[in-house]
Structure 1
Amino acid sequence: MKNKYLLIFIAISFFISFITAENLFNISSEKLDKVSKKYGKKAVQRVQLWDKVIEKAKGQDILYQLKYVNDFFNKVKYLRDSDHWGQNDYWASPFEFLGTGAGDCEDYAIAKYFTLRQLGVPDEKLRITYVKLKQRGTKYEQAHMVLTYYHKPTSTPIVLDNVNKKLKLASKRPDLTPVYSFNANGLWQAKNKGRTSVKVGENNLKNWKSMMSRI
């Protein structure tokens, strides 16, 4: 009798894993299995939704992709690193972000960046930008990160943000003051109050390298 139940359990497990694999388009079943073991069923559902978002956005025009990806990740719960990870500054990978179902500003920007790269948006058109965010109704500024999209190198970028959730040109975001920006291939320093920037070298940021090692 025990062997019978064991065989039934194995058969059901195989069936579930088969169905899960069949439903994936862009994420490997092995990766999903790791998410399941580490974070549980709800995390698996979030990653499956992410996979569907990528698939649905394929072949769409760039503004659709930007908005669709921005809207999807902005639904994830905001949580400070100190409360979430017990650290002052932790850059989560997209799988950690969706796996735990929470994160802070750089986690939103990083997840959006990698998703758009998955959709074929060239790296040179995307930068994760560290900014100073002016708090509404005050003179105070706080550290913040957003993703920026450049249609052309000299274009005013579109801002993908988890605070102001609407896509806006950077020129329409006077509350943001760029400090530096980066992608997988470089690091830029903002100049002229963020109106221009200059490449200062490769992306050797410690937090970026640490995050990349966990993907």
Structure 2
Amino acid sequence: MRRWVSGLHDRLHPRRSDYAGWRSVLQRIFRHVIDVALAVIALSLPATSQAEPFSAADGPSIYDTVPIQVKHNPYQNQWDRVVHSASRSNPISEFARNLSSVQRVSYVNKAVNDAIAYKDDAVNWRTGDHWATASETLLRGSGDCEDFAILKMQLLSAAGISANDMYLVVGNDLVARTAHAILVVRVDGGLWTLDNRNDEIHLANNDPDFRPLVSLSAGKAWAHGYKANIDMGSDRGTDNISPINKSSKLAAMIAAQSSGVSVKL
């Protein structure tokens, strides 16, 4: 009986820590509402007043997505550690230097896939998630999907590809129902996908099996949203597919919020 009375008292008179917890939750909800409201206001302004961060020009428009630059993302600490690691020359990058741009990308993709064994972080590092530098992956001779992508990025950098033209893309494999990471490289006017599960590179066009969430490049990050197929000002419905417009950018920003990233306003 005393325990029941004590429980009733706790429900009627919440502890101070309970108030603090609810206050934290309400603050997060409030910030989310404010972020989306600001996005709506910004996107309703004339095109000449649009802030530059809403432009997808320098982000990777891959797999039929809309890239929106963000200030924060859940991978930033891991990314900061590996992106600043030295790009050391080795036989793979030295040989790749003598190839054309697309051949260089193709060669590095297959060379790394052949040289490195896939091994999950739980086995390789005894931890849930560890992004290895190129040196760490080469020393161990193994790594998981993002380790393959980071090693390819560092080798291509040593072979002369600009860091600004390479993107580590984190997303979801919809078939395997798991997280996956790839490298996307811009060469000769095209965006090419390098995947540890495929020795052949291919253009980063629509792929129903992979959904990009976040892209990371030199000093920048983008969240990926998806284009709105319905023009709200038309009676033609889905028959009228519009280009990347205000509504699609807003959809991308809401998707970014849902992915746990902070939209750059």
TM-score range, shorter chain: 0.5 to 0.7
Q: Where does the alignment leave 5 or more consecutive residues of structure 2 unmatched? A: 1-88, 228-242
**4+ runs deviating over 2 angstroms:** 195-200
CA contact (8 A) 2:97 2:159 kept: yes
SS of 2:193's equivalent?
strand
SS of 1:114's equivalent?
helix
Q: How many Å apart are 1:123 and its aligned residue?
A: 1.7
Q: How many Å apart are 1:156 and its aligned residue?
A: 5.5
Flag the 1:72–1:51 CA change in 2: closer, same or farther, 3 A: same
**1:159-178 map, 5 Å:** 159-171=193-205, 173-178=207-212
Q: How many Å apart are 1:82 and its aligned residue?
A: 0.3
For 1:112 and 1:171, the matched residues in 2 are separated by: 20
For 1:57 and 1:151, the matched residues in 2 are separated by: 14
Q: TM-score, normalised by structure 1?
A: 0.61
Quick one: which amino acid aligns to residue 123 of structure 2?
D
Deviation track 1:33-56 (CA, whole Å, cap 9, x = no partner) reads: xxxxxxxxxxxxxxxxx7111111
Instruction: Compare relative contact order (CA 8 Å, sep 6+) and give the higher one, 1 or 2.
Output: 2
| Residue of structure 2 in register with 1:147 after alignment | 183
> Equivalent pairs: percent with the same residue?
28
Q: How many Å apart are 1:172 and its aligned residue?
A: 5.3
Q: Where does the alignment leave 5 or more consecutive residues of structure 1 unmatched? A: 1-49, 206-215
For 2:208 and 2:136, the matched residues in 1 are separated by: 32
SS of 1:64's equivalent?
helix
SS of 2:156's equivalent?
helix
| Residue of structure 2 in register with 1:183 after alignment | 217
Larger Rg: 2
For 1:132 and 1:115, the matched residues in 2 are separated by: 25
For 2:206 and 2:221, the matched residues in 1 are separated by: 24
For 2:94 and 2:179, the matched residues in 1 are separated by: 33
CA contact (8 A) 1:93 1:107 kept: yes
CA contact (8 A) 1:130 1:181 kept: yes
SS of 1:66's equivalent?
helix
Q: How many Å apart are 1:68 and its aligned residue?
A: 0.8
| Residue of structure 2 in register with 1:62 after alignment | 101
Q: Does 2:131 align with 1:91?
A: yes
For 1:143 and 1:103, the matched residues in 2 are separated by: 15
**1:37-48 map, 5 Å:** none
CA contact (8 A) 1:156 1:171 kept: no
Q: TM-score, normalised by structure 2?
A: 0.50
| Residue of structure 2 in register with 1:41 after alignment | none
Structure 2 residue corresponding to 1:127, chosen from 167, 173, 177: 167
Quick one: which amino acid aligns to residue 183 of structure 2?
L
RMSD (CA atoms): 2.7
Q: Does 2:135 align with 1:101?
A: no
Q: How many Å apart are 1:169 and its aligned residue?
A: 1.2
CA contact (8 A) 2:102 2:187 kept: no
